[in-house]
Each structure stands twice: as C-alpha cells, then as structure tokens.
Amino acid sequence: MDRRYIERLSYLVDEDKLDILAKSSVLVCGCGGVGSFVAEALARSGVGELILVDNDDIAISNLNRQLMTTKENIGRSKVEELKKRLEMISDTKVSTIKTFIDESFDMPKCDIVADCIDTLTSKFILNKKAHAIQIPCISSMGSAKRLEPKDIKYTTLDKTKNDPLAKAFRGLVKKEGYKHKIEVVYADTPSIQKEITQEGKTSKERHPLGSAIFMVGSVGLYMAYIICKRLWEEKENEIQRHAL
C-alpha cells in the first residue's frame, strides 16, 4: 500500500498503529449517511480492507448527506457507488455485498463491524452474529431529527439517553433477554420534534425523519475514530495474551 496519502496521519499516529490499520478488515453495514462517512474516513486513514453491505439504491433525498451520491447516480446501488468513490481515494481493498441483514446473513471474515443500519431487528441480528464469533461491533444510534453536531458519545447501549432509536433498541434487547454489552456511538441531545403535516394518520407521518449532514457526518467520523481505537486496543490485548 502506498502510504504517501496518509503522511499527515503518520505525524500523529505511530508506525505500528498504521500497520494495524493496514492489516485490518472492517465490515460496514449500512452505507447511507453515517455509513458513508465511516467508510470514507477509514479508507482515508489507511485501513486495508472494507466490506460494504447495503441493499438500497440511491434516491434523490440522499443527496444532502450521503458522500457517494450525485445527481448523476440516482437509482444506482449505494455500495457500488461508494466503492467507486473509495477506490479513487485510497489503496484500500473494497468489496461489496448488496443484501439486507437478516438471520440468513453470512458474516464475512473481518476484524471489526461498523453497524450503521437503521432497522432495529437487523442491528440486533448483526450484533449477535459479531459477538458470537468474538468480533467487536460498534453500532450507531439515531442521528436523524438533529441539526447541531454536539454531545456525540461512545458508550454502551444501556447508558444511552435522549435517543429514541437507542431507547427502542434497548427495549428489543431486553425483550430478547440479550446480556452482551452493545457498544454504541450516539448523540446525547434531544431530537427536534417539528410537525411537518397534520394530515398524517401516525406520528411518523406527521413527523418525518429529517436529517442533516452536520450531525450525520459528525457521528460517522467519530465512529470511524472509535473503530480505529478499538482495532489498536484489540491488537494490544492480543499481544498481552500471548505474553502470558
């Protein structure tokens, strides 16, 4: 891998840590707003391999926050368009899987998982599959209905607050009796409850999920940093285990 494009990062990060990133494989599930920022930040930081998973095609409403979207690629596969963009940026090996995450999903070999999915059942399934084979999984919580990018935190699901998606996810995890700690990145700030129309029959129809690149991008970038940090920690733990 040609490391000239991460020269500026090398002034901040030791060579051994850059080696860890270069030898790491990250599974990015959900390649929308948060996921596209996670993937691009990791590619620009010298991660060796990215595996992109998403079943959706690009819609015009994605243009305000998803990095690979343009007016020219509406209707094309999100994972394929993101792959094209990343391959123009770095030497990271990029592969794609166009699918929805359910129980039939076959986990590819990787070192860590970035869960950027917005469907609760899929988030839960992905975490279970990763934990079952002892692979760290970092899950993004809700970034919609927020404008100002602030109070973004890394913690475990049970410690989240001010996040409706995290609350719903906690409910699902509790219902399923799942005991494993779930690592999350979330915004500890109340969501904006702006009624768009009074004609909707449900609250979701009256309060559609507004999204802005300011929060979505910030969550994705912070999540990418946490993933790098966890990769370094995992390698350090492995070295310590072998030293015993």
pLDDT of res. 200: 58
Q: What share of the chain is helix, strand, coil (3-state, %, to 5)?
A: 45, 15, 45
In the predicted structure, residue 237 carries a pLDDT above the cut 90 = no
Question: What's the whole-number mean pLDDT along residues 129-152?
Answer: 94
Other CB atoms within 10 Å distance of the CB of residue 190:
13
pLDDT of res. 29: 98
Q: Does pTM surpass 0.85?
A: yes
Residue 213 is part of a domain; what is its CATH number?
A: 3.40.50.720
Note down the domain range covering 219.
Answer: 3-243
What integer best gives the mean pLDDT of the chain? 93
Nearest residue to 223 (alpha-carbon basis) of 132, 158, 137, 107: 137
pLDDT of res. 203: 54
Q: Identify any residues that bridge with 154 across adjacent strands, giving them in sequence order.
A: 185
In the predicted structure, residue 191 carries a pLDDT above the cut 60 = yes
Q: How many domains does the chain have?
A: 1
Strands in 25-29's sheet, in edge-to-edge order, are: 93-97, 49-53, 25-29, 112-115, 137-140, 183-187, 152-156
Runs of H (alpha helix) within the chain: 7-10, 15-22, 33-44, 78-87, 120-132, 164-176, 203-206, 213-243
pLDDT of res. 206: 55
In the predicted structure, residue 202 carries a pLDDT above the cut 60 = no
pLDDT of res. 241: 77
SS3 242: helix
pLDDT of res. 209: 81
The answer to whether residues 166 and 232 touch, using CB atoms and an 8 Å cutoff, is no
Question: What's the whole-number mean pLDDT along residues 149-174?
Answer: 96
Reported as a pLDDT band with limits 50, 70 and 90, residue 195 is low
Please give the single-letter amino acid code of residue 223: M
pLDDT of res. 243: 74
